[in-house]
Structure 1
């Protein structure tokens, strides 16, 4: 049965997945001691006690949040069966006038979170509410953010689904973004579109996510969390950006084209510029396209780019004449000419990602 990675792509070469199961790497990890304590800390039926034991050796709020993130991603699995059933109702009490809502909420929260820890399973709302509660108990100001996520190539120009939740922390007047759900692992999806298994694969990228990286595939429903520009404008930028394969987001940024929707005529040259960060070469780059008559991806040219030596090793195809190749430091620059009025998309593959980036093409 064909399986497709969703939510969090398995990265074969990732440098950011620092732990699998309880195996931790000390090299270049300033939080090694905190991580080591966190993954072995046992829950003893009391959440405040758990937080106290997790954070007893922490000296800053960032360290405390790191311990909490590590514990949750180590101990809570994604409840794919609940997701398949559409069981997203948290059962939170209604806030009605005349009722003692505070007591009702406290009782609900205690039962809800203890049930998650006991079952060791949750969907995104459970991950985010548990993270918030543990932050609250450790003195960290945090919030749960609900919003849209993109997971498919066909969602360029769209918002994606409104069915995800993550967290924002405020520490020393600075906002930090965390997605414990995607940081815990990934799920497989079968041919019928149902999730059928969860693989625990901790990914540090989802602890303290850079805001510009977050907005590649997350977008908050509440305008409160968009402050760098008007909400409507930020939403349009989010909708129309290129599709990024999840595993490539930490490493490479698309500088050009700026939009995921390319309006062009036959004969137009599309300029590509990719900025490589936090990634050791070499890079195998492939440009492919398909038309409205076939879904066959046609390779145009592939070449390796070694980050350190700046050397390039080419593998040519007959019709690679449209390419203008240039390597500058950690930047990959190339051109691609539109030669067929049937082209509907352009895909850029890099290394182990057959489709690292995806662009829609509208032929004028």
Structure 2
């Protein structure tokens, strides 16, 4: 699906502390294309034993060798006259998408996710596809729910984990920029929910329910370690001018940066007065009438995004 997450900074190491050096080193010796997922799967079976290593190998090969290309949408349009025909065509379409993805090295989110799913199947690893919505741009704040993206759940040693190889492969903004990251490998649910909302909430793997409307209203939380619960004010990503006098009060927990600044456009303005407590910061941003977006920077990096009405 449309991949425009220009401000999400890629990490080129394992995001959550596990050592995968051996797996990643072996994957550097793999071919960059295969005739079929079965042939790639044979390499993985030869080199790895544990479910953890096999899933790591699957994710690594995909993010290193598949480029996002929106033109792939045009390759697989189809029509059907009844549900039986649809189901038959769905399976044929799935197989065609997988074959094209692995042979050409190009895909949209369906190609990434279906190839990940098929490789897991071939390794006997329980997994399934998830459709849902994403939040990656200012225009996503406040809009109705859309099923516009696809990602994966895979079970490793009896526990389900979240994966998004599409976002793990790089960035797309008019062209694909390869920038592999493992942030979207076994992403903790409380971080994944900032940008991904599943069609069925049970696939979020969260204890506390977040509705589609709540997800839509959230600000863009760009700093990867920052949780939605860390944002105490404003909690809504939609700011209405009539609700503020001349300043917007911000309160953020579990953060103590050296520098804070903001931008309503191109110019970044430092904030000189910051109230610091043991586990939170508070500061005010002057309201500019007529502005459409507000971006908060923490230590000179984009951290929070708001849309102004």
TM-score tier, shorter chain, comes to 0.7 to 0.9
What's the CA shift string for 1:11-53, capped at 9, x where partnerless?
Answer: 3xx6x2239xxxxxxxx76111111112322355342231131
What's the CA shift string for 1:140-186, capped at 9, x where partnerless?
Answer: 11111111112222432224653211111133443211110110111
1:347–1:357: 8 Å Cα contact kept in structure 2?
A: yes
Per the alignment, do residues 287 and 113 of structure 1 end up closer, same or farther by CA in structure 2, a change over 3 Å counting?
closer
Q: CA RMSD in A?
A: 3.6
What's the CA shift string for 1:226-278, capped at 9, x where partnerless?
Answer: 564687x5212211111123xx2x233343123324574427772411434xx
1:335 to 273, 283, 290: 283
Instruction: Work out the number of aligned pairs and report it.
Output: 299
Per the alignment, do residues 150 and 340 of structure 1 end up closer, same or farther by CA in structure 2, a change over 3 Å counting?
closer
2:231 to 255, 260, 270: 255
1:284 to 213, 237, 259: 259
Per the alignment, do residues 160 and 39 of structure 1 end up closer, same or farther by CA in structure 2, a change over 3 Å counting?
farther
1:66 counterpart residue number: 56
1:73–1:180: 8 Å Cα contact kept in structure 2?
A: yes
**2-side partners of 1:341 and 1:271: how far apart?**
18
2:131–2:199: 8 Å Cα contact kept in structure 1?
A: yes
Whether 1:81 and 2:78 are equivalent positions in the alignment is: no
1:216–1:244: 8 Å Cα contact kept in structure 2?
A: yes
2:261–2:268: 8 Å Cα contact kept in structure 1?
A: no
1:261–1:359: 8 Å Cα contact kept in structure 2?
A: yes
Per the alignment, do residues 39 and 55 of structure 1 end up closer, same or farther by CA in structure 2, a change over 3 Å counting?
farther
More strand by share: 1
Instruction: Name which one, 1 or 2, has greater alpha-carbon Rg.
Output: 1
Per the alignment, do residues 333 and 75 of structure 1 end up closer, same or farther by CA in structure 2, a change over 3 Å counting?
same
1:7 counterpart residue number: 5
**2-side partners of 1:260 and 1:344: how far apart?**
12
Bigger drift between 49-58 and 32-41 goes to 49-58
1:175 to 155, 160, 181: 160
Whether 1:18 and 2:13 are equivalent positions in the alignment is: yes
Whether 1:186 and 2:186 are equivalent positions in the alignment is: no
Gaps of 5+ in 1: 20-27, 189-194, 302-315, 317-322
Alignment map for 1:101-120 (pairs within 5 Å): 108-120=93-105
2:39 counterpart residue number: 49
Gaps of 5+ in 2: none
2:66–2:107: 8 Å Cα contact kept in structure 1?
A: yes
